[in-house]
Amino acid sequence: MLKVQTALTQANQFEEESAEAEAKERVLLTIKEVNLRTYEKDIKVIWDKFTDSKDIGALLTELDELFVDQQLFN
């Protein structure tokens, strides 16, 4: 999870007030505050796609969708 958190933290391509910036904040907060051990396999698949494509937007979108689908956001 640290690799995912680091990649998202270093990504500066999202404008401050954009929907992507809000999603980034939600995903980072979830990574910090929620036990994601149950979802490690799903997250690893998403991470592996990112390492191949280097598409930070896709990484963010897929994590956001996973966390929404699993109702992990407060």
Dihedral sign, CA of 10, 56, 14, 66?
Answer: negative
Q: Which long-range contacts (CB under 8 A, 24 or more apart) does 62-67 make?
A: 63/4, 63/27, 64/23, 64/26, 64/27, 66/39, 66/42, 67/26, 67/27, 67/30
pLDDT tens-digit profile of 25-57?
A: 999 999 999 999 999 999 999 999 999 999 999
Which pLDDT score, from 0 to 100, does residue 2 have? 77
Domain segments of the chain: what residues?
1-6+24-74
